[in-house]
Amino acid sequence: MVKPAQRRTWVRWVQEAYAVSERLACDAGGVARSSVRYASVAAPQEPLRERLRELAHTRVAYGYRRLHVLLRREGWPVNYKRVQRHQDDGLTQQRKRPKRLRSAVPRAARLLPGAANERWAMDFIHDQLAEGTAFRVLSIVDLYTRECVGLVAGLRLRAEDVVATLSRLREERGIPLIIQCDNGSEFTSGALDHWGFWNQVRLDFSQLGKPTDNAAIESFHNSFRREYLTKHYFIHLTDAQRTIEQYRSGYNHNRRHSSSGKVPPARFRAAVAITASSS
């Protein structure tokens, strides 16, 4: 079915191409003249369309209903039907997409964190047990202190496991304002979205095809694999989690980090806390 906007475009083209009146062009195409002359009196929708386009490029797995929830949280007075119409107009990306699709929307430079627990980054890294069973590790890094605040191993880590880990860290050391992550299904899930909303934590998603958007966690994974994973065989998952936790403790308290002046991350965080309390 041809939409009214497309009919109006067609009528204008016929008028220009054949130098005929509006009446003749409408009669030739069976288009009502009232439809061609219609002028909307509704408020302009371009700000809403722009915001929807931004959300669609970062939440590529979301449909119109979940995008509608995000818009309502931000205070947009819009119902889901309008969001669906905008989606039908091509503002949102298709759910089925190439694996290496590159985003066409340039990202503004992220502000560097200025305090601990201001911005975290998280991602998964994969390895296998001695018998060949694959497992994965959820890594969470504080981007200011460069502390590894969480390393959790599991055969199948789902969105619920990510939420459980973040909830545990909230009790142990608090939660950040922003968490950077990629567009994996565990991070774009409704469970993590609800957790972020209720805890007032913003999820900052990487652009598609740009792993450098989350470069700090990629750098940590490089060190983690080079210094630890490639040098150890794990008999079972419990053994893996125990020894990985030992690595995390050593990384935070003993390994010197160049971004913090060759000071271990835990010591750097303590020094920053002392400076902040004395000022």
Encode pLDDT of 146-155 as tens digits: 999 999 999 9
Confidence of residue 187 (pLDDT cuts 50, 70, 90): very high
Encode pLDDT of 60-69 as tens digits: 777 888 888 8
Asked if residue 146 lies in contact with residue 229, where contact means CB atoms within 8 angstroms, the answer is no
Instruction: List the helix and strand counts (H, then E) for the chain.
Output: 11, 5
Mean pLDDT across the chain, nearest whole number?
85
State residue 93's pLDDT score.
52
Confidence of residue 181 (pLDDT cuts 50, 70, 90): very high
Residue with more model confidence, 143 or 109: 143
State residue 105's pLDDT score.
46
Q: What's the whole-model pTM score?
A: 0.66
Pairing, β 134-142 against β 148-154: antiparallel
DSSP 3-state of 73: helix
- In angstroms, the CA 279 to CA 274 distance is 9
DSSP output for 149-193: EEEEEESS--HHHHHHHHHHHHHHH---SEEEE-S-TTTSSHHHH
Share of the chain above pLDDT 90, in %: 41
DSSP 3-state of 257: strand
